[in-house]
């Protein structure tokens, strides 16, 4: 093996680092618009899926403007906050604020059957990383119309099963309220019993993800309590 001087090693590493840094920042800058667009489409697609509208990447934008009629932010008192865009609200940042200052996005949509529903974003923690999703509620502000979940880094086949339709479909027609009390949805290990209107089956091998999902629903949806009570009919 040839012997290299210290000077050579320093020069070699400096050049290597500069080249690599230039390459990576160039790639990041050039690809950013495409990545951003993908994320935006993904968000709209998830919202559509939560109201049972299957969208593809190409027709998402059109379907979104067709089905989503109105959107606004509310505060924990259930009052509408003017002048803010719910689509650009980052829930993770909102959750760091005090409860009174948080913006809570609400998207109003009309389903294929002509039924008005609201779509609410949720965000929480799984085993390895963040979970997020959208919950759509019927007019009674109690019955779930549909849900869609997603995750950053849960294990395929285990926690990652939360974004498969067998899991998501279990949430349909479950109730958030027990009489007047907000109870959210429980993810039951070993399987919810038949006819449980507040419970769904947990994922085997994905206990921590399931628990994280349950906590996400409770934390995020309970903030809408005042809005639900004011607007139910």
Report the interface residues with other proteins, using CB under 8 A. Answer: 1-2, 4, 8-9, 12-13, 16-17, 20, 23-24, 27-28, 31, 34-35, 38, 42, 57, 128-129, 151-158, 160, 204-205
Kindly state the smallest distance separating residue 140's Cβ from other proteins, in Å. 34
Kindly state the smallest distance separating residue 48's Cβ from other proteins, in Å. 16
Kindly state the smallest distance separating residue 67's Cβ from other proteins, in Å. 22
Which of 28, 90 has the CB closer to other proteins? 28
> Cα separation of 199 and 217, whole Å?
12
Count how many Cα atoms sit within 13 Å of the Cα of residue 201 in the half-sphere of its side chain.
Answer: 13
Which of 4, 101 has the CB closer to other proteins? 4
Which of 34, 114 has the CB closer to other proteins? 34
Pairing of strands 144-151, 177-178: unpaired
> For residue 12, what are the CA distances in angstroms to 2, 8, 20, 24, 147?
15, 6, 12, 18, 54
Which of 94, 154 has the CB closer to other proteins? 154
Kindly state the smallest distance separating residue 151's Cβ from other proteins, in Å. 8
Query: Where are the extended beta strands (E) located within 35-103?
Result: 68-74, 80-81
Kindly state the smallest distance separating residue 52's Cβ from other proteins, in Å. 20
Neighbouring residues of 60: CB distance < 8 A, sequence distance ≥ 6: 41, 44, 45, 48
Which of 42, 79 has the CB closer to other proteins? 42
What's the alpha-carbon Rg for the chain, to the nearest Å? 22
Kindly state the smallest distance separating residue 118's Cβ from other proteins, in Å. 26
For residue 73, the cross-strand partners are: 81, 105
Tokens of 106: 């609400």
Kindly state the smallest distance separating residue 59's Cβ from other proteins, in Å. 15
Which of 42, 85 has the CB closer to other proteins? 42
Q: b/e string for 102-135 if b means 16 or more Cβ within 10 A?
A: bbbbbbebebeeeeebbbbbbbbbbbbebbbbbb
Which of 169, 204 has the CB closer to other proteins? 204
CB burial of residue 173 (10 Å; 0-12, 13-18, 19+): exposed
């Amino acid at each position: 093996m040839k012997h290299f001087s210290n000077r050579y090693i320093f020069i070699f590493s400096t050049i290597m680092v500069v080249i690599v840094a230039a390459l990576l920042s160039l790639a990041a800058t050039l690809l950013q618009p495409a990545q951003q667009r993908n994320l935006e489409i993904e968000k709209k697609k998830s919202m559509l899926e939560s109201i049972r509208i299957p969208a593809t990447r190409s027709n998402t934008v059109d379907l979104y403007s067709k089905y989503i009629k109105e959107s606004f932010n509310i505060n924990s008192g259930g009052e509408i906050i003017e002048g803010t865009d719910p689509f650009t609200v980052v829930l993770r940042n909102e959750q760091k604020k005090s409860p009174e200052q948080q913006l809570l996005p609400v998207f109003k949509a009309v389903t294929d059957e002509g039924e008005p529903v609201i779509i609410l974003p949720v965000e929480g923690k799984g085993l390895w990383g963040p979970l997020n999703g959208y919950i759509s509620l019927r007019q009674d502000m109690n019955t779930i119309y549909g849900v869609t979940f997603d995750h950053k880094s849960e294990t395929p086949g285990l926690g990652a099963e939360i974004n498969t339709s067998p899991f998501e479909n279990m949430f349909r027609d479950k109730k958030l309220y027990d009489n007047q009390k907000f109870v959210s949805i429980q993810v039951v290990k070993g399987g919810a019993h038949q006819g449980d209107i507040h419970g769904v089956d947990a994922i085997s091998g994905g206990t921590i993800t399931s628990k994280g999902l349950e906590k996400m629903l409770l934390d995020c949806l309970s903030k809408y309590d005042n809005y639900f009570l004011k607007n139910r009919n």
